[in-house]
Amino acid sequence: MTTFPNSPQLLKGGIVMMAPDTGQVLRVISLQYNPDTLTRSFQVQAYGDGSDRSEALRLKASPVETIKLEAEIDAADQLEFPDQHQNVVENGIHGQLAALEGMLYPSSEALQNNHGQAARGVLEIAPMEAPLSLFVWSKQRAVPVRVSEFSVTEEAFDPRLNPIRAKINLSLRVLSVNDLGFAHRGGSLFMSYLKNKEALAGMVGSATLSSLGLEGL
């Protein structure tokens, strides 16, 4: 493929897996193809049911933000150069799917550790903590998330029934300081996301009342 020397660098969207305590990057999952659309919805967290006038304008927390996208994975590019992509030749896109699905599972080590504690008679076993997931969609949008829905449609297979093309539907719930707290690594990342949003809004400035057809309020 010919690349024009002055063409801008195409950034990839993806997910960064981090250790929640230290912030160490455990894995970076880059989407092979950036989705054409990305849907975001917000559920406002307001006080009361609206019957109390003193609470009408009060917010109790940041809105619950949900991000939905459809990603594609295709082995066609790698299979054109089999010598450079032996893993794809042997396993198709199993590896890419497994990396994404790994966000949903506790590790085998954590499962075995909890099983060992139960066998030793430990009465209270702490729930297993998953890595912190950070959804990255440009430097302006890097936000902690939890996968709330995940589905895979495998569309093509090689002769050994390895999937070689698939579509991934992801629904991600943004985690705020209300979920994680200010001291948590994810909480500080959310605050950076919120402050950046406020800074971007400030760059736009404010329209005038006259532009809305008003002389005053």
Q: Is residue 144 predicted with pLDDT exceeding 80?
A: yes
List, in order, residues 6 or more apart from 13 with CB less than 8 Å away. Answer: 30, 31, 34, 35, 69, 135, 136, 137, 138
Q: Flag whether 23 is in a domain.
A: yes
pLDDT > 70: percent of the chain: 92
The range of the structural domain enclosing residue 196 comes to: 14-103+131-201
Per-residue pLDDT of 25-48, as tens digits, reads 999 999 999 999 999 999 998 887
Handedness of CA 196, 139, 132, 32 (dihedral sign): positive
Confidence band (pLDDT; 50, 70, 90) for 65? very high
Q: Flag whether 8 is in a domain.
A: no
Q: Flag whether 1 is in a domain.
A: no
DSSP 39-92: EEEEE--BSSSS--GGGTT-BSS--EEEEEEEEEEE-HHHHTSTTT-HHHHHHT
Q: Flag whether 117 is in a domain.
A: no
Across the strands, what pairs with 152?
A: 168
Give the per-residue pLDDT at 5: 61
More confident residue, 187 or 79: 187
Total number of domains constituting the chain: 1
Average pLDDT over residues 12-23: 91
Q: Flag whether 157 is in a domain.
A: yes
H or E element, residue 26: strand 25-30
Nearest to 107 by CA among 200, 27, 217: 27
Give the separation between CA 89 and CA 84, rounded to whole angstroms. Answer: 10
Give the per-residue pLDDT at 87: 86
Q: Flag whether 116 is in a domain.
A: no
Give the per-residue pLDDT at 123: 64
Per-residue pLDDT of 99-128, as tens digits, reads 999 989 888 888 888 888 888 887 677 777
Q: Flag whether 155 is in a domain.
A: yes
Contact 62, 38 (CB under 8 A): no
Give the per-residue pLDDT at 28: 95
Give the separation between CA 18 and CA 178, rounded to whole angstroms. Answer: 20
Nearest to 128 by CA among 145, 113, 106: 106
Per-residue pLDDT of 191-209, as tens digits, reads 999 999 999 999 988 889 9
Q: Is residue 190 predicted with pLDDT exceeding 70?
A: yes
User: What's the chain's average pLDDT?
Assistant: 88
Q: Flag whether 7 is in a domain.
A: no
